């Protein structure tokens, strides 16, 4: 099999020999860890695992080694919206996309023939020659959804979420101010941004809510009816 772990390791060592690159024991330690599983590794996770094996390496050394794996075509970098990088196997003749949880950072691999056929059809319709593509869908995994309370503060929601205003705590002045902005019980909104001020979409309007104010607004998530909470 082209993509079993021992074959990936063998091919990497063969590539090093072909181009005359040198490598030391540290490369072999990281290679054993990386090739031993299909997990998505961060540099910090590799650093922790190497330390458990009695090898002390700096983050910079590990990054150099992992980027060497990328350069030789046995790994690829998965960059997420939060700026973090993870490394995964680059399997030959296999493709998958990712579901990424914005709460716990879990990465779920997915394969869909229907999606691949759709992308092939779109490129043909546009007379476009595709080289590669990468699909990353951000959301909240079933585990994190199951741990959520029915009501939560707006400040605990994430970019992209659809929410329903359930209650507003605070004085009459705050309630009236939010009502004037279009925020009142029963209104549905979408979180456009959750960094700094919260930017909400209500209908065709955008409004900004400070983080302190967001703590006083209780909301419930508006979920697709097909989603089952565990």
pLDDT, tens digit, 9 for 90 and up, residues 84-121: 899 998 877 778 889 999 888 889 989 888 988 999 99
Residue from 124, 125, 76 nearest 97 by CA: 76
Q: Both tokens of residue 150?
A: 């029915």
> Could you tell me if 42 and 33 are in contact, meaning their C-beta atoms sit under 8 angstroms apart?
no
Q: How far apart are CA 97 and CA 111, in angstroms?
A: 6
Walk me through the domains of the chain, giving residue ranges and CATH numbers.
5-89 (1.10.10.10), 97-139 (3.30.1490.190), 146-221 (2.30.30.90)
Q: What's the mean pLDDT when you consider all of the chain?
A: 87
Q: How far apart are CA 150 and CA 202, in angstroms?
A: 21
Going through the chain in order, the beta strands assigned E by DSSP cover: 75-79, 85-89, 97-101, 107-110, 136-139, 152-153, 162-168, 188-193, 198-202, 205-209, 217-221
> Could you tell me if 55 and 29 are in contact, meaning their C-beta atoms sit under 8 angstroms apart?
yes
> Could you tell me if 100 and 137 are in contact, meaning their C-beta atoms sit under 8 angstroms apart?
yes
- Residue 14, C-beta contacts closer than 8 angstroms, at least 6 positions apart: none
pTM for the model: 0.73
* Structural Rg of the chain based on CA atoms: 23
Looking only at the bridges linking them, the beta strands covering 152-153 and 136-139 are unpaired
Residue range 116-156, pLDDT digits in tens: 899 999 999 999 998 888 889 998 898 988 888 788 999 98
Please state, in angstroms and as integers, the Cα–Cα distance from residue 223 to each residue in 128, 139, 158, 186, 201, following that order: 36, 11, 13, 15, 17
């Amino acid at each position: 099999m082209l993509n079993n772990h021992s074959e990936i390791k063998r091919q990497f060592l063969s590539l090093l020999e072909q181009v005359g690159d040198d490598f030391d024991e540290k490369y072999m330690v990281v290679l054993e860890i990386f090739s031993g599983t299909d997990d998505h590794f961060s540099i910090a996770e590799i650093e922790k695992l190497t330390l458990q094996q009695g090898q002390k390496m700096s983050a910079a050394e590990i990054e150099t080694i992992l980027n060497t794996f990328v350069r030789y075509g046995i790994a690829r970098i998965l960059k997420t919206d939060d700026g973090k990088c993870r490394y995964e196997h680059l399997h030959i003749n296999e493709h998958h996309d990712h579901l990424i949880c914005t709460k716990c950072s879990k990465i779920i691999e997915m394969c869909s023939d229907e999606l691949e056929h759709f992308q092939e059809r779109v490129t043909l319709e546009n007379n476009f020659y595709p080289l590669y593509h990468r699909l990353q869908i951000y959301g909240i995994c079933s585990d994190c959804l199951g741990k959520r309370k029915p009501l939560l503060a707006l400040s605990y929601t994430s970019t992209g979420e659809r929410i329903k205003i359930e209650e507003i705590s605070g004085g009459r002045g705050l309630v009236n101010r939010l009502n004037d902005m279009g925020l009142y019980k029963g209104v549905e909104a979408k979180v456009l941004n959750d960094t700094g001020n919260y930017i909400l979409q209500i209908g065709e309007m955008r409004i900004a809510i400070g983080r302190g104010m967001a703590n006083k607004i209780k909301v419930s998530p508006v979920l697709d009816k097909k989603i089952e909470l565990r």
